A and B are shown apart, each in its own frame.
Chain A
Amino acid sequence: MAVLAAHGLRKFYGAQEVVAGVSFGIAPGECFGLLGPNGAGKTTTLRLCLGLTDPDAGSIELMQRPVPGEARPARLRVGVVPQMDNLDPDFTVAENLLVYGRYFGLSDRAIRERTPRLLEFAGLAARAESRIQTLSGGMKRRLTLARALINDPDLIFMDEPTTGLDPQARHLIWERLKRLLGQGKTIVLTTHFMEEAERLCARLAIMDRGRFIAEGSPRELISRHIEPHVVEVHGDGVMEWADGEAGTVASRVEKSGETAFCYAADPAPLIASLARRPELRYLHRPADLEDVFLKLTGRELRD
């Protein structure tokens, strides 16, 4: 039984179709990642799932309830970590949890019982009485995560949970999300960090221009869409080499700025060719999700 199912979702802003026929189902305990460049329609898809905006076509079921019709009761079982910080700046850490728990109809006593455990989980046990302004970005993110858990949700939506965080803070969030998955929670995550998606998500969809353009496990996506070896080449004369010899030794060459990205199933001829060109420097690495992402969504900027 899916905790979230969407069928044929469409949403227009004016003439622009920001969600253009999206269908998916998410099973309990799964971590589903929604990847895409800025403006791909990820956040709008989440808002549709939460019943915060009405679809122009299609249907949604959240916790077995039709959305938007029964979105409000469905949200009783859901937690949300939004992209933008919206903690209450006038309150302390503990007050933020208290006030948010009340929105779910929880008694003050029940919230106060849960608070120490949630603060422990968020690594904020010593900061219960701290004001929000005194917290670092990572602490705020963790408090937002704790806030999203106040109702002990079955499903957690996370919209770019680690954007703007330093590596330490990011790793801590990842560790906590894995713990939640270990407890059997379901997570729907949007991100544009491929590393994040690869680490956490059992299944992902790459979204672009309102559509799912690829779907599967990270490994499936890599093996299905891209050659296993990547050689990044730069240096004097790289473009002349890329336009000539590279084409005979690599199965695909992509030029971006002053770098040639060469993809191949067998890297040996490529490396041999580069050995004869000492003026060219190169990096040989296995293909990853980012290569898939860039191949499918293109290298041009999306602002």
Chain B
Amino acid sequence: MLNFAPPAVSLRFAPVWRRNLLVWRKLAIPSILGNLADPMIYMLGLGYGLGSFLPQVEGAPYISFLAAGTVCLSTMNSATFEAMYSAFSRMHVQRTWDAIMNAPIDLDDVVLAELIWAASKSVLSGLAILFVVWALGLSTSPVSLWALALVPLVGLTFGALGLAMTAVAWNYDFFMYYFTLVITPMIMLSGVFFPVEQLPPEFRAAAAVLPLSHAVALARPLLLGQIPAGILLHLGVLLAYAAAGFYAATILCRRRLLK
């Protein structure tokens, strides 16, 4: 039985968000290093290593081209991990959500708190890469500052989609399917490592509906100092995925926990 009422969101999410922040603060240093090291290694290794074989890609050195993809990829991965593995631990393994719902906080508030928390954590990952990109001079235009606004939206989008998966997961193994069947193909189709235009037309059509494509389509021109084309379309798609994911997560969590 599903309760389709729209999420009843309120500021009561704040103490739940603060709970997660307090846990994170205890583990902050290894967490930041972990979040930064992996995407950095890919960006620098592929960017300089593979880049040395390549002429310019879309008018920029390959590593500058790759920078935007890495920012989006890192933000997406961080939000997805937090919304799936960590939120699942709190919901199902530690029963933290049950404890919270015995207090005057509703499930909808908890789901919202987890969404905003996943986005918050992913912003750290995205910004960390962004600062490295700026520090290395891979992006020098003031236009690239707009990426600061894009990263939180990307975090919300993938946090919401991850939470919807968490709502139907019965163990951690379930998340492997999401990574191998959804996230990994999406990375290959969304222009993270190479331009989408390289793909055959049928793959390009598939790429056009994937949220990561739209994130990259905004981030890449911004980091290369250009105003993106079709800003409203890209923002609209990301917002639509975020809203649909959050709505689905709320309904599915209600079905799971309020029975």
The chain A residues found within 8 Å of chain B, CB to CB, are: 13, 50, 52-54, 72-73, 75-76, 80, 82, 84-91, 95, 99-100, 102-105, 151
**With a CB–CB cut-off of 8 A, which chain B residues contact A50?**
102
A13-B259, A75-B103 provided; 5 other pairs, C-beta below 8 A? A86-B96, A88-B23, A103-B15, A104-B103, A105-B15
Q: Give CA–CA (A82, B100) in the complex, Å.
A: 11
* Smallest CB gap from A11: residue in B: B259
Please give, as numbers and ranges, the residues of chain B lying within 8 Å of A88 by CB-CB distance.
Answer: 19, 23, 94, 96, 99
Identify whether the interface residues of A are mostly helix, strand, loop, or mixed.
loop
Contacts of A102 in B (CB 8 A): 15, 18-19
Q: Are B16 and A86 in contact (CB under 8 A)?
A: no
Minimum C-beta distance from A54 to chain B (A): 7
Contact with A along B20-38 (1 / 0, CB 8 A): 0011001000000000000
Residue of B nearest to A96 (CB): B99
State whether B104 touches A73 (Cβ < 8 A): yes
List the interface of chain B (C-beta within 8 A of A).
15-16, 18-19, 22-23, 26, 94-96, 98-106, 258-259
Q: Please give, as numbers and ranges, the residues of chain A lying within 8 Å of B26 by CB-CB distance.
A: 90
Report if A91-B22 is in contact (Cβ < 8 Å); known contacts: A82-B98, A82-B99, A103-B15: yes
Q: Which 7 A-B pairs have the closest CB atoms?
A: A103-B103, A86-B95, A102-B15, A80-B102, A86-B99, A75-B104, A90-B23
CB nearest to B93 among chain A residues: A89
Give chain B's interface secondary structure class.
helix
A214 to chain B, nearest CB (A): 28
Kindly list chain A residues whose C-beta atoms are within 8 Å of the C-beta of B106. Answer: 72
Please measure, in the bound complex, the distance between the C-alpha atom of A155 and the C-alpha atom of B146, giving whole angstroms. Answer: 52
Residues of B within 8 A of A100 (CB): 99, 103
A-chain residues with CB within 8 Å of residue B98 when the two chains form the complex:
82, 84, 86
Which chain B residue lies CB-closest to A88?
B96
- How far is A213 from B125 in the complex, measured between Cα atoms in Å? 58
The verdict on A91 contacting B103 (CB below 8 Å), with A53-B258, A103-B15 known, is: no
The CA-CA distance from A99 to B18 in the complex, in Å, is: 8
Q: How far is the CB of B150 from chain A (nearest CB, A)?
A: 31
Complex contact B95–A103 (CB within 8 A): no
Sample of 21 A–B contacts (CB below 8 Å):
A52-B101, A72-B105, A72-B106, A75-B104, A82-B98, A82-B99, A86-B96, A86-B98, A86-B99, A87-B99, A88-B23, A88-B94, A88-B99, A90-B26, A91-B23, A99-B22, A100-B99, A100-B103, A103-B15, A103-B105, A151-B103
- Chain B: minimal CB distance from A161 (Å): 14
Q: Which residues of B contact A80 (CB under 8 A)?
A: 102
User: Which residues of chain A are within 8 angstroms of B105 by Cβ–Cβ distance?
Assistant: 72, 103
A88 to B20, CA, bound (A): 11
CB-CB nearest in chain A for B99: A86
Residues on B with C-beta less than 8 A from A86 are 94-96, 98-99
Considering the complex, give the chain A residue whose CB is closest to the CB of B8: A72
Taking CB atoms, residues of chain B closer than 8 Å to A76 are 104
Task: Please state if B16 and A103 are interface contacts (CB–CB under 8 Å).
Answer: yes
Contact A99 B19 (CB under 8 A): yes
Please state if B258 and A82 are interface contacts (CB–CB under 8 Å): no
